Structure 1
C-alpha cells in the first residue's frame, strides 16, 4: 500500500518538464493538527479566502480564512485543527468554487471535500491489474453511457439465447449506476460479446444533472465539465457522501479488470460548462481560455468557449489530470473530445507522460473541432496532423461516411445504400489510413493523403453516441427498408469495421439493433430514447450471434490486426472493386496467421455479384449472415459469388 493519501484537491507531483516558478494548482494537505491550502491565482487578486463548511450543500461557513501570497501566483493558508470530512471552497472575488483540481466534492460539486483517499480503495485494490494488450489493434472498444446500458434492465428477458451468448437472467440492483458494471449479468454479457475495452462517456462531475433531484428522471451525456478529477455523483448511490462516488467508480474498474476488460475514459478538456461559473474562471480569470484577436472568447468547441492548452498551466492541468486518473483510478485509456482544439505539443506531452507509466494505455480522440479555433490549425491535434502525434489515434470519418453517408445529412446514403463512389474511402479505412499503393487518395472523401503512420492510429467505426445509431441511419437513408434488409446491411457494415486494420469501435447496443427513434443528437433525450431495450424481440436473433462471432474471428486471426504499416502494405492486397463492392486479400500467412490467404468481399448491392479471386480451394467461414470458423462449405476455382447485401469471407 502506498503512503497515506490524506490530501485532497491537487497535490501536484514534481514535474518532468519545467514550469516557471514551480507554480501549483489548488492543493490541500491534511493532518490532524492543521490543514494547508494553496491556490494558483493572480498576483493582484484581492481578498483571497478559503472557507470551511460542515456540509457539502447548504449552511453557512464554519470558518473563513484569508490566504496570503507566498510566491508568484501562489496563495497559502494554514488552518489549525482537525478538519477531516469537512468541505471547503476558494474565493478570489469572483464567486466560490472547489478549485480546478478537486479530488473529492460534495453534492453537485460546489464544494471540495477533505477526505483520506485510502478510505475509498475497495478491498484488493492494491492488487488490481490492467488487462494485458499487446497492441492497440487488439482492442475491441465498446462505447457506453452508464444510464443507457442498465437503466431498463429487468427480468423480462426472452428465453433462448444464441449458443455463443449466454446471459444470466437477472435484473440490476443499480440501474444507471457505476455499480451496474460490477454485477454478474453485465460482466457475463460483455465477456460473451467479446469486447475487451469499455469506453465510458464522460464520468467526471458535470453540470447538467442535479444530484439533489435524482428521483426525477434526468439525462445528459456529460460533455459539460465542472470538476474534471472527481466521478459524477449521479452515477453513484449517494452523491452527498464524497467517498461513495469514488469507491463505486473504483469497484467498477476493478470488476471490469477482473473480467479482462479495459476501461477508457472520455475526457473533455477542450471546454467547460460555462465561463463565468467555471472553476477555471473563478480561480484565475481568462488565463485558461483562448480569445480571438478582437478579445472575444474563441468558440472552436461550439459550446461558447475553448480552453488554451498551449498555456503552460492549462497544458500542465491536462497532463496531471490524465496521470491522476491512471494512478488513482487505474484507467486504461482516454478518448479526447474535440482533440482538434488541443495543441500538438500538449498531446505529445500527454503521450510521453503516459508512456512512462504504461505505453499500452491507449489515447485517441476526435481529430477535428466544432468551429474555428483561435490558434493555428497546423499546430492543433487535427486528424491531418496525426502523423506528428505518434502513439495517438483518431476516428476515421472517411470510412464511416463512405459506409453509411455524410454526417451532414441523415437522409443521404452511400455504400450500404448501394450507391457507388465510396469504395476508395472504404479501402482507405480497411488499410488503417496508412499509405497503401492500391488506395487512390484522390478519390477518398475528406482526406487526400494518408494521415496515419501506423494502422493503430485509426479508429474504425460506423456509428457512435453523437449521431444516429446504425439502425436509425439505415432507416433514414434507405426509404421503406424492411427488417431483413436492414439486418443484412447492419452486419455488412460491422464486417467492414472488424476486418479493417484499424482499431474497431462499436456503439453500445448496436449488437441488439439498438435504435433511438431517429434522434440524431440525443444528448439530453429521455431514457425512452437512449436506453437499451433488453426486451427487443430481435435481441436474441442471429444479429447478436453474428457480432460475437465476428469479434472472435478478428481476435482469433492476427491477419486482421497486423498493427504495422509495413506489414499492411506487404500482406493486404485489394482485388478489383465494383460499384458498391470492395474485396481484398490478406496473403501469405499475414501476421503469422494459421490461414494462408484470407479473402473478404463486401457486397452492398441488392443483387449477387461475382468476383475474380486467385485460383484455389477455399473454406467459407462467413456467408449469408452466418459465421463459423470451422467452415460453412468450400468453393473452388477463380471466381466466387457473393450474396446481395452481405459479406463473404473465405480462406485456403
Structure 2
C-alpha cells in the first residue's frame, strides 16, 4: 500500500445500482479535491459510472460515512480531514489520483505581521507555513556562510511560525528551513535554507537556482526631503515604458554607473532621466524591479530532465520572474552583478538607491509606475513560496503538479487568502515605503476578480490618485471591459492593432491605409474618444484606456513600420546599422501619422522606450550562439546587450522624429483639449476618404484657451480635402513641423492634406 498513509487496508464502497449503465469509453478520474472539511468531490470523465465495490480504493486515515452521486461527480462524506496529510483515490489499482486539499487551505488566514519586525527591544521573525511540521530560523554573519545559528520556531493555530530574539540584528542575514509532509506531490526540503518571502532586501547567488539570503536592514530612516506621490489625473498621464538598464547601459549614454538606479540620475548622461525630461513625458513605467530570477538554466544542458533549447543567453533580461515581492532588484544597484557564481546585493544598497531614483523622478515631475508580476514565478529557481508550501500558494493540475497557463512559469494561486494578502501587503509596502505612484499588472486576467477589487479598494485608501493598469489578458482570458467595470485602466490592444496593425506582414492597420480585424470608420473614431463601451468598445471612461502603439513585447514601432512598409525583409540580416536606423521618407510619414493619432486621442498615453526615435532591435553579436544575429527581434526578453540598450546616436540620426514627439507631448500637456474633451463633444469632420480622419476639439468643452482641429490622411497616394469649422485657422503641426505656436498661412473653410500626412490647426 504505497499510497496508504497508515498502511491500513483501503476503504471500499458500493455504488447504487441506479447509477450503473453501459460505458462507451473507459472511465477516468479527472480530479479529486476536498470541498469541505469532511467532503471529497471526485470528478469523472463521464457520468456512466459502473463500478464494483472492489474497484474504488481510498488511501488515507479517515472514514467514509456517505456517498452521493451528481452527474459525473461523486461526493464522499467523510470524517474530519487533515490538510497536513496526503490522501489518494484509486480505481482498480491502475488509476491513482492525489486529493487536492482545496477548501481546507482556503480556511487558513492570519493577520499577524510577517517577515521581521522590531517589537520593543526584540526582533520578531514570522513565517506563514500552515502545513509545515517544523521551521527553523537561520542567522548568518556573512552573505557567503553555508552554516549559521539555528533557532527553533513555534507555530500558532493559524500556521504562523515565529520567534523573538534580542535585538538589534541589523546587517545580519537570515533564512528558514521548512519541514513538512513527505510525498511525491510535495516540495518540502528541510535541509535547504530559503529566504523570507517578505524580505525587504535579498543577497542572491548568480545561478539559475537564484539562491538567496534575506538581509536585516533598516528601511524607515530614509530622508525623503518632503517627497510625496505626484497625484496626476489619469487623463493627464503620458507614460514612458522603460527598462532601468536599457536607459544607460549603452556606451552612447555616457553613464558612469551604467544600467543602474543611480546611473539614471547622473547629470552628464545622454540617457536616463535627462533624456526622459527632454522628451517631456510625466510618468515612467518601469519594467519589473522587484527582485527576480535573472538567470535561466544553461543552454543545451539537461537540468532536472529539462533541456534549454530556446534561450542561448540563459538570461531573463526583462524581469518577469519575480522571486521577492518586497525587495528591489539588486542587479540595478551599486554592487550588483550577474557574474556566474558571484553574489549580488550583498550590502542591500538597492533599497536606498531605488528610493533615490523615485525621489529624483518626482522632483522632475515624473510619476513612477511599477510593472509587477503577481501571476506566476519561475519554475527554475528556489522561490521560497514553492518550498514553504507548493499546495497552498500555487495553482495545480489534477495530479498536483504546477500549472503553466501563463506560459511563463508556475501559476500563483491569487485567490488563496494568504496569497491574496501577500499581494495586498506588497502593493501597500511599495506605496508607503517607496512612494510609488502606481502599478501595471502583468497578465492581470490571471489574478482573480476578488483580489483585483481588494487591490483598488486598499490602494485608493492610501493614495486616492493611485494608478492601476492591467495587462488585460493571460491564461487564455481576455477582458478589457472587466477591468473598466472595476475602475481599473488597461492596455488597449484594440487601439494598438487598429491604428498600426496586428502584425507587419498580413495584418497592417489604419496608418498604412488598411483596416485590420473588422475595423471600420466608426471603430477608428471611437479610438479617438477612448474606445468607449457606449460606442461599441470595452471602456466605461476614456481614462480607462491606455492607448499605445509599442511596448516591450513584439516588434518596436520602428521595426513594425520598417517591415510593414516593405523596406526591410523579415529574415534580412542588417549589416549597416546606421543606414538601417535612418528613417526613409515613407517611414517618417508613417511615424508622424502614428504619433499624431496617439497623442491627440482621449485616454492615457503610453510610449515605448526609444519609440520617439524609431528604435530598432537588431540582434547584437555576443558570445551567445544565437543563429539570428543581425536580424530584427520581436521577443528580446533574454538580451542584456545592445539589442535592447538604447543607442543615443540613433536619437540624433532621427532627431526630426524625436523633436516631433517632443512638441506633440508638450502640446498635449499644455492644452487640455487633447486630454479632457468629453467624448460626446468631439466633432468629426467630413472628408472624401475612409482613410482620412478629422476632428474638432472646441475649447469650451475642456476649458482650454484654444480650439483645435486634428487632421490625418493615411492614404498613401491620395490627397484629401477636409471641410473646416467656421473661422480662421492656423497650423501648429504639419508633417514637416510641430510647434507650440501658430505658423503658416491662415486657412478658412477647407484644408487639403497630401498623402500620408498630418495637420493640427488652432484658433
Give the structure-1-normalised TM-score.
0.84
Change (3 A) 1:300 1:355: same
Q: Which residue of 2 aligns with 1:76?
A: 162
- Which of 435, 445, 448 is the equivalent residue of 1:343? 448
- The answer to whether 1:613 aligns with 2:724 is yes
- 1:225-624 equivalences in 2 (<5 Å): 225-238=322-335, 239-274=344-379, 277-292=382-397, 295-369=400-474, 371-372=475-476, 382-390=479-487, 392-407=488-503, 412-420=507-515, 422=519, 423-436=521-534, 439=535, 449-480=536-567, 483-517=584-618, 518-536=632-650, 538-539=652-653, 541-562=655-676, 567-573=678-684, 575=686, 578-587=689-698, 589-624=700-735
Question: CA offsets per residue over residues 308-344 of structure 1, 9 Å max, x none?
Answer: 2222111111111011001111111101001111122
Whole-angstrom CA distance in 1 between matches of 2:273 and 2:111: 44
State the 1:81 CA deviation.
Answer: 6.0
- Point out the more displaced range, 247-256 or 24-33: 24-33
3-state SS, counterpart of residue 71 of structure 1: coil
For structure 2, the 5+ residue unaligned runs are 1-105, 180-187, 206-210, 297-312, 336-343, 569-582, 619-631
- 1:35-114 equivalences in 2 (<5 Å): 35-42=123-130, 44-56=131-143, 58-80=144-166, 82-93=168-179, 94=188, 95-108=192-205, 110-114=212-216
Change (3 A) 1:266 1:81: closer
Kindly indicate whether the alpha-carbon contact (under 8 Å) linking 2:681 and 2:697 is maintained by their aligned counterparts in 1.
Answer: no
3-state SS, counterpart of residue 521 of structure 1: coil
3-state SS, counterpart of residue 628 of structure 1: strand
State the 1:418 CA deviation.
Answer: 2.0
Change (3 A) 1:530 1:136: same
Whole-angstrom CA distance in 2 between matches of 1:398 and 1:387: 14
Change (3 A) 1:633 1:590: farther
Kindly indicate whether the alpha-carbon contact (under 8 Å) linking 1:142 and 1:505 is maintained by their aligned counterparts in 2.
Answer: yes
Change (3 A) 1:631 1:281: same
Q: Which residue of 2 aligns with 1:158?
A: none
State the 1:570 CA deviation.
Answer: 2.7
Q: Which structure has more RCO (C-alpha within 8 Å, separation ≥ 6)?
A: 1
3-state SS, counterpart of residue 352 of structure 2: helix
Kindly indicate whether the alpha-carbon contact (under 8 Å) linking 1:23 and 1:74 is maintained by their aligned counterparts in 2.
Answer: no
Kindly indicate whether the alpha-carbon contact (under 8 Å) linking 1:603 and 1:609 is maintained by their aligned counterparts in 2.
Answer: no
Change (3 A) 1:151 1:604: farther
Q: Which residue of 2 aligns with 1:142?
A: 240
Whole-angstrom CA distance in 1 between matches of 2:417 and 2:120: 34
Q: Which has the higher helix share?
A: 1
For structure 1, the 5+ residue unaligned runs are 1-17, 156-170, 211-215, 440-448
Whole-angstrom CA distance in 1 between matches of 2:459 and 2:120: 34
Question: CA offsets per residue over residues 85-119 of structure 1, 9 Å max, x none?
Answer: 11111121324321221112123461111122245
Over aligned residue pairs, what C-alpha RMSD do you find? 2.6
Whole-angstrom CA distance in 2 between matches of 1:397 and 1:470: 14
- Point out the more displaced range, 328-337 or 19-28: 19-28
Whole-angstrom CA distance in 1 between matches of 2:399 and 2:689: 52
Kindly indicate whether the alpha-carbon contact (under 8 Å) linking 1:461 and 1:505 is maintained by their aligned counterparts in 2.
Answer: yes
Whole-angstrom CA distance in 1 between matches of 2:661 and 2:251: 21
Change (3 A) 1:597 1:32: closer
Whole-angstrom CA distance in 2 between matches of 1:64 and 1:554: 60
Whole-angstrom CA distance in 1 between matches of 2:366 and 2:469: 18
- Which of 230, 247, 250 is the equivalent residue of 1:152? 250
Kindly indicate whether the alpha-carbon contact (under 8 Å) linking 1:26 and 1:99 is maintained by their aligned counterparts in 2.
Answer: no
Whole-angstrom CA distance in 2 between matches of 1:643 and 1:19: 67
State the 1:514 CA deviation.
Answer: 0.8
Q: Which residue of 2 aligns with 1:130?
A: 229
State the 1:255 CA deviation.
Answer: 0.9
State the 1:488 CA deviation.
Answer: 1.4
State the 1:628 CA deviation.
Answer: 2.0
Q: Which residue of 1 aligns with 2:578?
A: none
State the 1:587 CA deviation.
Answer: 2.7
Q: Which residue of 2 aligns with 1:165?
A: none
Change (3 A) 1:594 1:148: same
Whole-angstrom CA distance in 2 between matches of 1:581 and 1:190: 32
Whole-angstrom CA distance in 2 between matches of 1:483 and 1:217: 36
3-state SS, counterpart of residue 468 of structure 2: strand
3-state SS, counterpart of residue 502 of structure 2: coil
- Point out the more displaced range, 350-359 or 285-294: 285-294
- Which of 625, 645, 650 is the equivalent residue of 2:756? 645
Question: CA offsets per residue over residues 537-565 of structure 1, 9 Å max, x none?
Answer: 744621111111000111111111117xx
Q: Which residue of 1 aligns with 2:96?
A: none
State the 1:519 CA deviation.
Answer: 0.5
State the 1:434 CA deviation.
Answer: 1.6
Q: Which residue of 1 aligns with 2:259?
A: 176
Whole-angstrom CA distance in 1 between matches of 2:651 and 2:604: 31
Give the structure-2-normalised TM-score.
0.72
- Which of 107, 110, 120 is the equivalent residue of 1:22? 110
Whole-angstrom CA distance in 1 between matches of 2:639 and 2:274: 28
State the 1:276 CA deviation.
Answer: 7.5
Kindly indicate whether the alpha-carbon contact (under 8 Å) linking 1:365 and 1:395 is maintained by their aligned counterparts in 2.
Answer: yes
Whole-angstrom CA distance in 1 between matches of 2:393 and 2:584: 50
Larger CA Rg, structure 1 vs 2: 2
Kindly indicate whether the alpha-carbon contact (under 8 Å) linking 2:689 and 2:720 is maintained by their aligned counterparts in 1.
Answer: no
Kindly indicate whether the alpha-carbon contact (under 8 Å) linking 2:708 and 2:760 is maintained by their aligned counterparts in 1.
Answer: no
- Point out the more displaced range, 579-588 or 495-504: 579-588
Q: Which residue of 2 aligns with 1:161?
A: none
Q: Count residues with an aligned counterpart.
A: 585
Whole-angstrom CA distance in 2 between matches of 1:246 and 1:571: 46
Change (3 A) 1:290 1:577: farther
Change (3 A) 1:559 1:344: same
3-state SS, counterpart of residue 352 of structure 1: helix
